[in-house]
Amino acid sequence: MAQTEVIGGPHVRAPSSVPRTMALVLLASSPAAGLGLYLFGWPALNLLMVTIAAALLSETLSLWLMGKPVRSSLFDGSALLTAWLLALTLPPWAPWWIGALGGAFAILIGKQVFGGIGQNLFNPAMLARVALLISFPLEMTTWAQPHPLFAADSPDFLTALSITFGTAPHIDGMTSATVLGYVKTGFTQGHTLSQSLTGHFAPTASLLGDTNGSLGETSALLVVLGGLVLLQQRIITWQIPLAMLAAIAALSGLFHWIDPERYGGVLFHLLSGGALLGAFFIATDPVTSPSSPRGQLLFGAGCGALTWVIRTWGGYPEGVAFAVLLMNAVTPLIDHYLRPRVYGRTRRGEPLRPPAPRNETSDE
Amino acid sequence: MLRLRRLRFRGGVHPEGHKQSTTDREIEPLPLPARLYLPVQQHIGAPAEPLVKPGDYVLKGQLLARSAGAVSAPVHASTSGTVVAIEPFTAPHPSGLPVRTVILEPDGEERWAERSYDSDAFAMTPEEIAARVGAAGIVGMGGAAFPAAVKLNLGSRNTVHTLVINGGECEPYLTCDDRLMQERPREIIDGVRIMMRALHAHTARIAIEDNKPYAIAAMTAAAAACPDVHVTAVPTRYPMGSEKQMIQALTGLEVPAGKLSADVGIVVHNVATAHAVRNALRRDQALISRIVTVGGGAVDTPRNLEVPLGTLVSDLLEACGLKEEPARLLAGGPMMGMVLPHAQVPVVKGTNGIIALTAKEINAGEVRPCIRCARCVAACPCGLMPLEMASRVRSGDIDGAVSYGLGDCISCGSCSYVCPSNIPLVQYFNFAKGALANQREEQRKTEETRRLAAERNARLEAAKQQKANQQRRRSEAAESTESG
């Protein structure tokens, strides 16, 4: 009989694996991504492809340099997913080198210098996005308006190539800021919130995705749908998304109630920018988020609160990426202090005290 | 019958049951094999001491080896025949190491040793009941094989209010307890009542997972006449069969760390143990046979067999047939069972299943780095963080692993079961527990040596002091006589 080295159980396993997990996240985010590709046309697809190619090349290179098995790591889907999620948060008509730099940065600096999969402290995609945002603020905040594929004003394949690879003249009429950007600029010009929002924020458009914004975050509906799939498949747990969205809703609701002309409302904050994509797909990254349910609640709430604070008082219109990175930094601390209560022990680790003996008479 | 919804333990997993192939098949007796191999250690504790020698003719139920020590259990002849040898033979353990074994050649006559049927269990004192159970060689039959009499004596030291009977059988494939409950519910209830008496317990609660409706129905009907014996359906979730988790699911009570369940007034015994207790007290029958589920994808006809202890696993597999060469052969269920080195090992008191798995069933995959997905944290029924413990064990930091609760781990394997990276977490923990035990033993030895050395120094010092005192006194005396 074939004898293996295994001595202890379990000898059966749940049908889960790392590649399957990655594939499911990819699948769950594909409706939103698909819509993004449809709305923003060929240039968006080009950008996505460039980002993925850069990430996979960087992954191969670093695995090879470190003498690790290239094949099994490369095909575990993690590098592909990182690039995919990064691309979903980029301006869809960004030039090719944004995607290339971002993909390479995410893998090389965000992941492999920490020791590869599972070792990184920060979410690689968000690290890359923030690095790009700080280094190239113009390109990272130039947003294309939706030009659905096959519509009359949609760029054809060749025009798309020239947009992505930087040979086309800058087409001003096609681009504009996102809602969050309008509000931020509006305040600097002394406009009230309602003045800034007029004509720029329509909840239905944000729900369906017919608005300008990053590649994969414009349709709140599809993002939430993907998130629900992840929850149903137990890829993610409810704690992080719920806590994050609840924190955003609570803060924005409170401040909007105090001064509606200064602070955006709940719907505005939840449906704009990357709040939903962040809550379901970014902050839930297992590697960089806490392990215990209570830790995840705290982490999610922190992401939400920071997102709102940065959007409201920070220098940038959007704050999800910064918020997630900041909370990533405290994840080890959360994991250290917020452990689950061990069976038979108090939260502080002391053994429970046995219950007082029951005052029942013996049956003798 | 009570239904249980709200009170549950945390974590746990839902492995596929695979019970459908044997849950409807009646328990079948297995014919006597050519030889029986009875290891003198089939239990946790000290090995039993053989009382027979090669060439002796023994009767069915006759004592072959007596219990040696407070935690030990005697071994009896499973049938009548001749002792042909007492020599080392491979035990059903992954190591494949030999254990002192009484080898018996049956004569096929099944001649019983003398038995007394006239004793009334309910006229006996609790101590007498426990002594009878101990003499019958009964051990925990759910797989742990802890001598049952030791646990029955807990009633005299602690106030035990509830006897919990574990009919959970949460391991996949196994149905031996399920069938026993379906076919012999009255004998089990009788055993339960005897055990209640031994423990001074007022209540007995029989917990059965809700995936065994026929067992629940049969046991409920049999328990109807006893108002203090309750049958409770518990949710089907692994590791429901674990003592601590079952107590929590049933009563909401937690056993404090480092304490026994008896400290919260509860003692847990397996259904098959209750059945064996009944046979011991009512029929004066030692534990010489047990019901074994033979299953797994490699088995042609999975069955529940009633087999004499000492029967070789190969005899069981032959009776059920193999469809293919098993990729892994287990004693016990696939979650906590042990790998058998080969099929030439005997069935012992704790063997509840022989499971022959195919490669497909094992679903072994490549071991990948941990992605901190925390599914192990969600699955752990003890509230531990297996990923943190494993990373510390891997870096040799046993103390770090202990600070994360290594000592509270029950090795149920839920974490390994769900790990998408196929990391053998339980193996890490078992290794670390072994290392920890060694470390503690070393420490104890060092301290003992230090203590002895210190005592010796103190003794020498005292002797020296005494000598000096004597000398001083002598010279003082001399001085005084001189001056006087």
User: Which two tokens mark B180?
Assistant: 């026993």
Q: Which residue on chain A is closest to B262 by alpha carbon?
A: A354
- A279 class by beta-carbon count within 10 Å (0-12 exposed, 13-18 middle, 19+ buried): buried
On the CB side of A300, how many CA atoms lie within 13 Å of its CA? 27
Question: Is A119's CB within 8 Å of B369's CB?
Answer: yes
User: Which two tokens mark A336?
Assistant: 């250290």
Provide the pLDDT confidence category of residue B217 given band limits of 50, 70 and 90.
very high
Instruction: Quote the pLDDT of residue A2.
Output: 38
| Residue A1 with chain B: CB contacts under 8 Å | 325-326, 329, 342-343
| Residue B370 with chain A: CB contacts under 8 Å | 118
Q: Which residue on chain A is closest to B156 by alpha carbon?
A: A362
How far apart, in Å, do the first and last CA atoms of chain B sit?
Answer: 100
Over 80: is that where the pLDDT of A117 sits? yes
- What interface predicted TM-score (ipTM) does this complex get? 0.84
Instruction: Quote the pLDDT of residue A5.
Output: 53
A346 touches chain B (CB under 8 A): no
B259 touches chain A (CB under 8 A): yes
- Mind telling me how many Å the CA of B307 is from chain A's nearest CA? 24
B172 touches chain A (CB under 8 A): yes
Provide the pLDDT confidence category of residue A71 given band limits of 50, 70 and 90.
confident
User: Which two tokens mark A15?
Assistant: 């049908």
Instruction: Quote the pLDDT of residue B174.
Output: 93
**Nearby residues of A295 by Cβ (< 8 Å), 6 or more positions away:** A331, A334, A335, A338, A339
Which residues 139-168 of chain B have a CB within 8 Å of chain A? 159, 161
As a whole number, the mean pLDDT across chain B is 90
Over 60: is that where the pLDDT of A155 sits? yes
Q: Alpha-carbon Rg of chain B, whole angstroms?
A: 27
Instruction: Give the span between the Cα atoms of B1 and B7, in whole angstroms.
Output: 16
Q: Measure CB to CB from residue A344 to each of B10, B255, B366 and give the nearest one.
A: B255
Question: Is A6's CB within 8 Å of B161's CB?
Answer: no
Q: Measure CB to CB from residue B161 to each of A10, A291, A360 and give the nearest one.
A: A360
| Residue A8 with chain B: CB contacts under 8 Å | 338, 411, 413, 424, 426-427, 430
Question: Is A72's CB within 8 Å of B368's CB?
Answer: yes
Q: Using one digit for the tens of pLDDT, what is the confidence trace for B386-399?
A: 999 999 999 988 88
Instruction: Select from B10, B229, B371 the residue whose CB has the most chain A CBs within 10 Å, as the one to mutate to test that interface.
Output: B371
pTM of the model: 0.86
Instruction: Give the whole-number percent of chain A exceeding pLDDT 90.
Output: 44
Which residues 197-256 of chain B have a CB within 8 Å of chain A? 200, 202, 244, 248, 253-256
Question: Is B413's CB within 8 Å of A118's CB?
Answer: no
- Mind telling me how many Å the CA of B366 is from chain A's nearest CA? 9
Work out the average pLDDT over B201-225. Answer: 93
B86 forms beta bridges with: B102
Q: Measure CB to CB from residue A292 to each of B256, B333, B377 and give the nearest one.
A: B377
Question: Is A18's CB within 8 Å of B375's CB?
Answer: no
Question: Is A8's CB within 8 Å of B387's CB?
Answer: no
**Nearby residues of B308 by Cβ (< 8 Å), 6 or more positions away:** B30, B32, B33, B36, B78, B79, B288, B289
Q: Using one digit for the tens of pLDDT, what is the confidence trace for B256-306?
A: 998 888 889 999 999 999 999 999 999 999 999 999 999 999 999 999 999
Provide the pLDDT confidence category of residue B252 given band limits of 50, 70 and 90.
confident
- A295 class by beta-carbon count within 10 Å (0-12 exposed, 13-18 middle, 19+ buried): buried
A286 touches chain B (CB under 8 A): yes
User: Comparing C-alpha atoms, which of B279, B286, B280 is closest to residue B113?
Assistant: B286
Q: Using one digit for the tens of pLDDT, what is the confidence trace for B96-146?
A: 889 999 999 999 888 998 888 777 888 888 889 999 999 999 999 987 889
Over 60: is that where the pLDDT of A178 sits? yes
Instruction: Quote the pLDDT of residue A362.
Output: 40
B266 touches chain A (CB under 8 A): no
**Nearby residues of B123 by Cβ (< 8 Å), 6 or more positions away:** none
| Residue A7 with chain B: CB contacts under 8 Å | 94-95, 338-339, 427
Cα torsion A278, A282, A285, A290: sign: negative
Instruction: Quote the pLDDT of residue B9.
Output: 81
